[in-house]
A = this chain, B = another copy of it.
Amino acid sequence: MRVTIKDIAAAAGVSVATASLAINDKRGVNPATRARVKAIAQELGYRPNTLARGLVMQHTHVIGILISDITNPHFANIIRGIEDTITPHGYHAIICESHDDNPEIELYALQWLEASRVDGIIVASVSGDPKTHQLLKHLQSNGLPIVLVGRHYIRGEFDTVLVANEESTCTAVAHLIEHGHRRIGIICGPPDVPAAQERLAGYKLALAQNNLPFDERLVRIGHWQVEDGLTCAYSLLREQNPPTAIFAANNMMALGAYKAIRSEKLHIPNHLALAAFDDAVWATAFDPPLTVVAQPSYELGQVGAQQLLSRLPGGKRVDTTEYMCEVLLPQFVVRNSCGCRV
């Protein structure tokens, strides 16, 4: 059996209460006693049971993170941003994946986090499924701090940190248009995901602003994965009147599109220009390097964590019922896949 506080109390010849006080550096213990208790705890390899502690303290110092795909550097960076800001405050993070916004997995994960009595949840990805929405509202009304990062339902319901999807996509597509492209394909995300909607809206906006017609045949829908980018790009290239440029709505699909274009022996940007949403480590290793709308992924995590922290015990917004929304601006990083010279 694992060593408990009872064991160390017995070994030190004190009560469990005193042992607890000593171990947790609370005042009211004779320094000598404290030292003795601590030494014994150390020696016996005592590790306080967080389950028991959490049960009585009513908080776990754990916060849950829900993301869609750990493999995607965007989410990995969000996690980093969160962890780096909560760790100094003594919090741990536990990560759940929804496997690209699968509503069932998402719901299941959230329920597990709830059952695990995490102190707060940062949702960096939601499918848009109403059940999830409902659960999230329920949890929040039960006093569990929730913050949405990079995704949202209706404004004002939750603390949120967003990214200017529409504006930045518009900028990128407009840039492609400036390069003379008039038929621009887009590989977008599922229409029920707000972020995907907004990026598509940005695409449409850029066309409209330049008096270019919107053509349904230039739109492809993927589920954010490399495979989707690959098949969508192929499909776009096989159009009767194929596009001369493509915008991919995330990094993974951009990677897929890149592979497709390369395997078709087309030259980027001469035969086909390319730009994408999300930066990634590999984007500059490509030839030519990819022009991207760089989401501030790390900051997204950071700011989300700060919002959450401010709702946790000791925070400045513990019982505000007003929810805040910060929006972060992506940076448009022009490299060469769009047609710009080095």
Contact = CB atoms under 8 A, between A and B. Distances in A.
Contact of A286 (B79, B92, B116, B286): B286
A94 B112 CA distance: 12
Interface string A4-33: 000000000000000000000000000000
B116 A50 contact: yes
A281 interface: yes
Interface stretch (A70-78, A167-175, A210-218): A70-78
9 contacts: A2-B142, A45-B138, A47-B115, A51-B60, A71-B77, A94-B94, A258-B285, A259-B285, A282-B282
Contacts of A52: 51, 55
Interface string A102-141: 0000000001101111000000000000000000001000
A242 interface: no
Given A73-B71, A262-B285, A55 B47 contact: no
A276 interface: no
Interface string A73-97: 1001101100100000000101101
Nearest to A92: B112
Contact of A117 (B45, B50, B115, B258): B50
Interface residues of A, number: 43
A48 interface: yes
When all copies of this chain in the complex are counted, the total is 2
A121 to B, nearest CB: 13
Contacts of A146: none
A45 to B, nearest CB: 6
A51 B138 CA distance: 21
A326 interface: no
A283 to B, nearest CB: 9
A176 interface: no
A269 to B, nearest CB: 14
A270 interface: no
A296 interface: no
Contacts of A115: 47-50
A266 to B, nearest CB: 12
Nearest to A260: B285
A337 to B, nearest CB: 12
B262 A117 contact: no
Nearest to A258: B285
Contact of A262 (B73, B116, B287): B287
Contacts of A334: none
A293 interface: no
A111 B252 CA distance: 35
A42 interface: no
A226 interface: yes
Interface string A279-317: 001101111000000000000000000000000000000
Interface string A240-277: 00000000000010010011001000000000000000
Contacts of A194: none
A173 B259 CA distance: 27
